[in-house]
Amino acid sequence: MPLETRTLIHLTLVHNKLNELTSNALKPFDVSLQQFNVLRILRGQQGKPANLSTLNDRMVTKMSNTTRLVDKLLTKGYVIRNVCPSNRRKVEILITDEGSGVLSQMDKAVAEAESNIVQHFTKEELEQLNTLLDKF
């Protein structure tokens, strides 16, 4: 197998494993990686509302179903959605106190998973890996 192909397959396998381990850390919260990402984006807004376009632009994984992600978080009570009365196309989304609280717990679980993932790397190796990945 050519080195280039083997490298890309290896990167794909590592990507899938990272997603699996992070998803497993979020399972107790019944939240997907994408929902977790939406909550982190909303927390980063520091109390200012975000619209669907903002969320989609800042997502780690770009997807067309941001509305569905927000709907699921709304059902769980983690976000609120306000529709502008003068322009019904303008929708503002905010994280709730409950969403912020559970996000803090998720952060701890994900941080632990991330720590386990990189435990066999030295700081220098991680820096070198980041330098190589930056070439993409």
Band (pLDDT 50/70/90 cuts) for residue 84 is confident
Q: What is the pLDDT of residues 85-94, one digit of tens each?
A: 777 778 899 9
CATH number at 127 reads 1.10.10.10
Domain span holding position 114 = 3-133
pLDDT of 83 > 90? The answer is no
pLDDT at residue 109, as a whole number: 97
Q: Model-level pTM greater than 0.95?
A: no
pLDDT at residue 114, as a whole number: 95
Q: How many domains does the chain have?
A: 1
* Residue closest to 32 by CA, chosen among 15, 18, 19, 13: 19
Gap between the Cα atoms of 43 and 94, Å rounded: 8
Mean pLDDT of 6-11: 95
CA 113 to mean position of chain CA atoms: 14
Band (pLDDT 50/70/90 cuts) for residue 7 is very high
H-helix or E-strand spanning residue 93? strand 91-95
